[in-house]
């Protein structure tokens, strides 16, 4: 499969060679690397993408969950063109940003007020900063397998990379470990930062009892509970917190709420967020040239009004649950060495050979290359995230290709 891949994709190989001269590893996002080399994608339309060798793929990766709209939406293109025509870089606050803020605050009960940033990473960094400043405490609790942004890497068990504060990294879905941590040093904990589903950590849903326990512990000890809903905000109109009925103190979002452009936002109760009110003495600083850039703001508003409706998000959630159930069934029924985890339309295929990590990795790589050869694109690590344009026909085609590909 590997040799066939190399032979089939000379354009992508050449593109990588060229890119490597000026970009370490040939790109700017570590997660994009896959062996022997990633495809170089030149364009997309609807739920399809095309690589530089002219192969078309059904895009089942959806930009690692950010690309919920598919490609080249005329609605978003028009919103961007209109915003651009009115002038961008306007050197002050604009009507666009309040329109987007109103919509976000209306969706999330935990968000009375919100501030914008350019990525989910920044949003999390600012939420943690707010929690530490407002509580006057130092420590941040995160979880093994959690991912909150590129330069806030809490290496699971290993050494921290660039984490500018004291933290504890606890096992996910482990209520007893969280209780023990609060018992030991509850008065030092500023906040718990948690994903309602581990995203990059393999699409492992949070146990509702675990998330509720975090809610209870933080309330009891005067710490803030921050839900990182950068991925899970798509689980329904009120995100995962809406589905769970758990209201955190702060919420961070990102990805698709910028209508496909660079975006992040952090919000929370007025009593917390008003510390950022610059008219107040001693206000917390939070700046960023492009935080309120009109293109992102306008695209976000159009995206929410046109695409991110309760009905559309619920339908996408259901489509994902149906696909995941079908995959789980085929893996079990045919005795295939894989399993699947996830929530709604975000899921991860895991190799499960019982023969160790090395065999597992080979199996997943084989499945990935086999499905890619048949025209279905997802992440080498097994991640799939459906976008709105992926329909029944594409998913039926995917299931058929899977049966064929694994020789059933
Ligand atoms: N939090 C979660 C849960 C994420 O999945 C991501 C991105 N994959 C981030 C934060 C960081 O967002 P960004 O890549 O926009 O910085």
- What kind of architecture, by CATH, is found in domain 2-71+310-405? Alpha-Beta Complex (3.90)
Beta-ladder partners of 250: 226, 268
What pLDDT, on a 0 to 100 scale, did the predictor assign at position 161?
58
State the Cα angle at 207 between 203 and 209, rounded to 5°: 165
- Closest by CA to 330, choosing from 303, 378, 367, is 367
**Same CATH fold assignment for domains 2-71+310-405 and 74-306:** no
Q: Which CATH fold would you assign to the domain 74-306?
A: 3.40.640
Which atom, in ligand 1's list, is nearest to the CA of 120? 12
What pLDDT, on a 0 to 100 scale, did the predictor assign at position 164?
74
Matching residue, tokens 């793929």? 57
Ligand 1 centre from 49 Cα, in Å?
23
What pLDDT, on a 0 to 100 scale, did the predictor assign at position 262?
97
Ligand 1 centre from 307 Cα, in Å?
21
What pLDDT, on a 0 to 100 scale, did the predictor assign at position 150?
77
Ligand 1 centre from 305 Cα, in Å?
23
SS3 content of the chain, % helix, strand, coil (to 5): 45, 20, 35
Ligand 1 centre from 1 Cα, in Å?
32
CA contacts within 13 A on the Cβ side of 370: 17
Beta-ladder partners of 377: 59
Q: Tens of pLDDT along the chain (408 residues)? A: 889 999 999 999 999 999 999 999 999 998 899 989 999 999 999 999 999 999 999 999 999 999 999 999 999 999 999 999 999 999 999 999 999 999 999 999 999 999 999 999 999 999 999 999 999 999 999 999 999 987 666 655 455 556 778 889 999 999 999 999 999 999 999 999 999 999 999 999 999 999 999 999 999 999 999 999 999 999 999 999 999 999 999 999 999 999 999 999 999 999 999 999 999 999 999 999 999 999 999 999 999 999 999 999 999 999 999 999 999 999 999 999 999 999 999 999 999 999 999 999 999 999 999 999 999 999 999 999 999 999 999 999 999 999 998 875
Give 400's contacts (C-beta < 8 A, 6+ positions apart).
none
What pLDDT, on a 0 to 100 scale, did the predictor assign at position 159?
55
* Residue of minimum CA distance from atom 12 in ligand 1: 120
- By most ligand atoms within 8 Å of CB, the mutation choice from 149, 227, 259 for ligand 1 is 149
- Closest by CA to 37, choosing from 65, 18, 9, 63, is 9
Strand order in the sheet with 383-385: 338-343, 346-351, 383-385
Domain limits of the chain? 2-71+310-405, 74-306
Tokens of 200: 């990059």
What pLDDT, on a 0 to 100 scale, did the predictor assign at position 166?
87
Which atom, in ligand 1's list, is nearest to the CA of 122? 16
- Total residues found in the chain within this entry: 408
Q: Which of the 8 DSSP states describes residue 284?
A: P
Distance CA 307, CA 259 (A): 9
What pLDDT, on a 0 to 100 scale, did the predictor assign at position 406?
84
Distance CA 141, CA 300 (A): 31
Put simply, whether the predicted model's pTM sits higher than 0.95 gets the answer yes
What pLDDT, on a 0 to 100 scale, did the predictor assign at position 163?
73
State the Cα angle at 387 between 386 and 392, rounded to 5°: 70
E strand or H helix that includes residue 36: none
Which atom, in ligand 1's list, is nearest to the CA of 264? 15
């Amino acid at each position: 499969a590997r040799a066939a891949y190399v032979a089939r994709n000379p354009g992508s190989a050449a593109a990588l060679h060229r890119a490597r001269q000026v970009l370490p590893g040939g790109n700017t996002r570590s997660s994009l690397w896959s062996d022997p080399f990633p495809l170089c994608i030149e364009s997309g339309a609807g739920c399809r993408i095309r690589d530089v060798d002219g192969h078309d793929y059904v895009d089942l990766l959806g930009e690692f969950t950010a690309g919920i709209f598919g490609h080249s939406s005329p609605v978003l293109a028009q919103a961007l063109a209109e915003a651009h025509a009115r002038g961008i870089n306007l050197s002050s606050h604009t009507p666009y940003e309040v329109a987007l803020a109103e919509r976000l605050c209306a969706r999330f009960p935990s968000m009375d007020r919100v501030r914008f940033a350019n990525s989910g990473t920044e949003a999390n960094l600012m939420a943690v900063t707010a929690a530490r400043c407002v509580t006057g405490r130092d420590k941040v609790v995160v979880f093994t397998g959690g991912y909150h942004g590129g330069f806030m890497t809490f290496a699971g068990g290993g050494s921290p990379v660039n984490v500018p504060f004291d933290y504890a990294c606890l096992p996910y879905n482990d209520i007893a470990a969280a209780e023990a941590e609060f018992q030991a040093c509850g008065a030092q904990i500023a906040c718990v930062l948690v994903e309602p589903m581990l995203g990059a950590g393999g699409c492992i849903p949070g146990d509702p009892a675990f998330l509720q326990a975090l809610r209870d512990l933080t309330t009891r000890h005067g710490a803030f509970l921050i839900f990182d809903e950068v991925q899970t905000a798509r689980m329904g109109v009120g995100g995962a917190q809406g589905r769970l009925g758990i209201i955190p103190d702060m919420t961070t979002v990102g990805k698709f709420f910028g209508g496909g452009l660079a975006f992040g936002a952090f919000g929370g109760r007025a009593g917390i967020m008003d510390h950022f009110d610059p008219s107040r003495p001693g206000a917390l600083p939070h700046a960023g040239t492009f935080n309120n850039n009109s293109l992102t703001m306008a695209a976000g508003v159009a995206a929410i009004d046109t695409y991110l409706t309760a009905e559309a998000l619920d339908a996408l959630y259901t489509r994902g649950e149906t696909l995941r159930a079908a995959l789980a069934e085929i893996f079990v029924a045919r005795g295939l060495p894989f399993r699947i985890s996830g929530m709604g339309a975000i899921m991860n295929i895991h190799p499960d050979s019982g023969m160790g990590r090395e065999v597992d990795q080979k199996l997943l790589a084989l499945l990935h290359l086999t499905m890619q050869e048949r025209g279905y694109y997802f992440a080498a690590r097994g991640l799939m995230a459906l976008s709105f344009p992926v329909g029944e026909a594409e998913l039926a085609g995917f299931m058929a290709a899977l049966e064929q590909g694994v020789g059933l």
